[in-house]
Structure 1
């Protein structure tokens, strides 16, 4: 029996949903939690301001605690509602369009046997509609579709923040820092993110010896529909990631240089390496798609930098959210 099964920690899993259009994906996500080698004590499904989906979920999922988002519409408020309704001393978060491999819960819990570990990031693999990624789509930009990307450190290494589709935090740490901020997180038709980054930075700042680590063996498969495999989505997501980083930088203040060091290292090291590999691959394979992949890396970086510059110039509007953001149906990624 593994250490995590002897630890006695109770674990809850929170899933947030907002659209009936992802019903099949939601059912698959919840089914994957029923088949875990380490079954969670409870699963909390938070419905984000969609009464029809709430009623349908309440009738369909008898073994799941179904609650309405009690906070501001959006992923941050839904996650806050979820962890506050959960019973476990550890809370795992799984996206509603992701499915967890059988040992996901067990492998997410294992690093938390170290009392200094306050958070864990799982490894998120893209499940491409059609079976494979477009030839021009660089692995270094898999974060665009909410997945793990080339450039992440080795297994059990310390990371700044997890990817939201598969992450875990200690419940007392979440409560102590006030949870996710509504200044960040997806809402409306603009995919503003970085709420996980902001949360992890606040938790580790408050607990100087604490760490967030990467568990590469805690695998989930994140659905990537065809509409997220287009150049339009790619560059739109890059732009709003830049805007999100600008909001985060303002929140960090004098700590922005340190807090955004991961992005700087990724831009200065991983992306140039990726471009070089793509060019060499294009030459050896005589493949035009590899040339496009190199171009996508360069353009993606430029668009992200442009979004960051615009975010710094524009500032924020009422409620702290990015000026010009449309408040409509939540656009959880």
Structure 2
């Protein structure tokens, strides 16, 4: 592990101009924070967005994804370019609370802490949310009921609000290019994959959740639909099947097993008791999410959709500071 961090870089990854207003809000929310972070915007294979972003910000490092298209490759580009000891990540459709970095950086005072996750509060589109019970908010990339409500050790962090020691990320080869979202395909698990590999490489390393480190995550109208619920849940299962083969079922499914045994039955019973007050729809959503996730996991297992092993010596992430260090899918985002 590194010594007490003194500098921090915030990486925002973007791939489409359709989210321009959200992207502006995201970047502006971290510019000028008291921690004086270096802000890097990595554009994922979109020349128009790259040019527009460079025109918009002169004091932000705007760079193109130099790796394979996808969120993992964009994040690896950000890690390679970052000058901070700590690299924080904020989604292009999320805005940080003014105290976000303060709370996110606090746990790094413990040298064993390799990664810290924050909280994500949904900002619903016009009409609000009539579909998701709180236990399913992971489907829209937000913190769900069942997560710790105070500083706690967790298996993995939530992708839209997280930070890692840069050398811990580089030491395990960075984010796996064969996991995670590419464009609008709702695969996931790149954060889970990274956190598990960090812990497997160094069993003394800690991954913690600091719920006070909050971001406001904008949810589009297209995600508050039955179609998106089914699709995202299905691909979650596909992602988990791949992770299980790559990293072992014990590490990859531990949180999901507890979530299915504890949180889902409690939620189903609660919604069953409130059938006349919208509970029927939320109960149907719970059942649909579980069935779709299990179906995705079964199909992913049968097809043996593989994750290529991450070989740190292959240099998927190339440090940009003259360092000689090598650098090379229940709910994954934010699961304890």
Shared topology, TM-score over 0.5? yes
What is residue 225 of structure 1 aligned with on the other side?
A: 220
Partner of 2:41, secondary structure, is strand
Correspondence for 1:154: 149
| CA shift digits 1:105-161 (9 cap, x unpaired) | 111000111111110011001110116212x31111111111100111231111111
Please name the residue that 1:34 is paired with.
Answer: 31
Query: Residue 137 of structure 1: SS of its match in structure 2?
Result: coil
For 2:268 and 2:87, the matched residues in 1 are separated by 38
Is the Cα contact below 8 Å between 1:39 and 1:105 reproduced in 2?
no
Question: Would you say 1:300 and 2:289 are equivalent positions?
Answer: yes
- Counterpart Cα distance in 2 of 1:62 and 1:318: 38
Q: Does 1:261 align with 2:254?
A: yes
Number of matched residues? 307
Which of residues 47, 57, 66 is equivalent to 1:61? Answer: 57
Structure 1 runs of 4+ with >4 Å offset = 317-320
Q: CA deviation at 1:280?
A: 1.8
Distance (whole Å) between structure 1 residues aligned to residue 133 and residue 222 of structure 2: 17
Unpaired runs of at least 5, structure 2: 310-332
- Counterpart residue number, 1:72: 68
**Displacement after TM superposition at 1:8 (Å):** 5.6
* Counterpart in the other structure of 1:290: 279
Q: 1:290 offset after TM fit, Å?
A: 1.1
Q: List aligned pairs for 1:177-188, cutoff 5 A.
A: 177-188=172-183
Q: Which has the higher helix share?
A: 1
TM-score by length of 2: 0.88
- 1:39-118 correspondence runs (5 A): 39-40=36-37, 42-118=38-114
Does the CA-based 8 Å contact 2:246-2:307 persist in structure 1?
Answer: no
* Alignment match, 1:141: 136
Decide which of 4, 7, 10 is 2:7's aligned counterpart: 10
Kept after mapping to 2: 8 A contact 1:119/1:169: yes
- Matches for 1:156-175 after TM superposition, within 5 Å: 156-175=151-170
Sort the Cα spacing of 1:221 and 1:269 in 2 relative to 1 into closer, same or farther, 3 A.
same
Name the structure 2 match of 1:310: 299
| TM-score of the two chains, using structure 1 as the length reference | 0.89
Going from structure 1 to structure 2, the CA distance change for 1:187 and 1:8 (only over 3 Å counts) comes to closer
Q: Is contact 1:36–1:104 with CA below 8 Å preserved after alignment?
A: no
Looking at structure 1, the residues matched to 63 and 293 of structure 2 have their Cα atoms a distance apart, in angstroms, of 36
Matched, 1:123 2:119: yes
Instruction: Assess, with a 3 A threshold, how the Cα gap between structure 1 residues 316 and 127 changes in structure 2: closer, same or farther.
Output: same
Matched residues in 2 for 1:156 and 1:250: separation?
30
Change (3 A) 1:182 1:8: closer
Q: Is the 8 A contact 1:38 1:103 kept in 2?
A: no
- Give the drift of 1:44: 0.6
**C-alpha distance in 1 between matches for 2:162 and 2:107:** 12
